[in-house]
Amino acid sequence: MRIVVTDFDTEVCKRLEDALSRFTHWLPYWVNEIYIYRQPKDNGGASCRFDKRYRRMCLYVSGELVHSNIEDIEPVFAHEIAHAYNGDICMCLDTYMPTIIKEEGTFELTRAIFMERIEEQTQDLAFLFLDKTEARDG
C-alpha cells in the first residue's frame, strides 16, 4: 500500500499517514495507492474519490480536520475507507441512473434514497473498522 501526502507540511503529512495507516488493512484489495490532498473548497471533514482502473483512492482532507485531535481524524478516515466498498454504486447512480430514470424529480428522489442507505452502510462499516482496529492495536 502506497500513501502519498504532499499538500501539507512534513509534520502534518506524517500525522495523516500514520492515522490512515491504522485502517488501510480494511481496504478492498483493488486499492493499491492512496493520495491525500487538501480539500479544494475546504468545506469540512473529508471526502474521497476512487479510480478503480488505476487502483487509486484520493482522499481530500479539510484544513479543520488536519488540525483536529487524532481521535477526531481516525473515525473520518475509517468512514472514507469504508466508502471504497460502495464507491462503484455511487458512480453508477450518478453516471447511469439519469439516463435510465427520465421522469421529472424521480431520479433525484431515487438518488437521495440510495445515498442515505449508502451513508448508513458506510458508517456501519466505519464503526466495525474502528472497533476491530482498537481491539487489535489498542
Q: Which stretches of the chain bind Zn ion, using CB under 5 A?
A: 122
Smallest separation, CB 122 to Zn ion (Å): 5
Smallest separation, CB 11 to Zn ion (Å): 27
Smallest separation, CB 83 to Zn ion (Å): 6
Nearer to Zn ion, 12 or 118 (CB): 118
Q: Burial of 9 by CB count in 10 Å (0-12 exposed, 13-18 middle, 19+ buried)?
A: exposed
Nearer to Zn ion, 5 or 59 (CB): 59
With CB atoms as reference, the residue minimizing the distance to Zn ion is 122
In angstroms, the CA 96 to CA 104 distance is: 16
In angstroms, the CA 59 to CA 61 distance is: 6
Q: Using DSSP, state whether 39 is helix, strand or coil.
A: coil
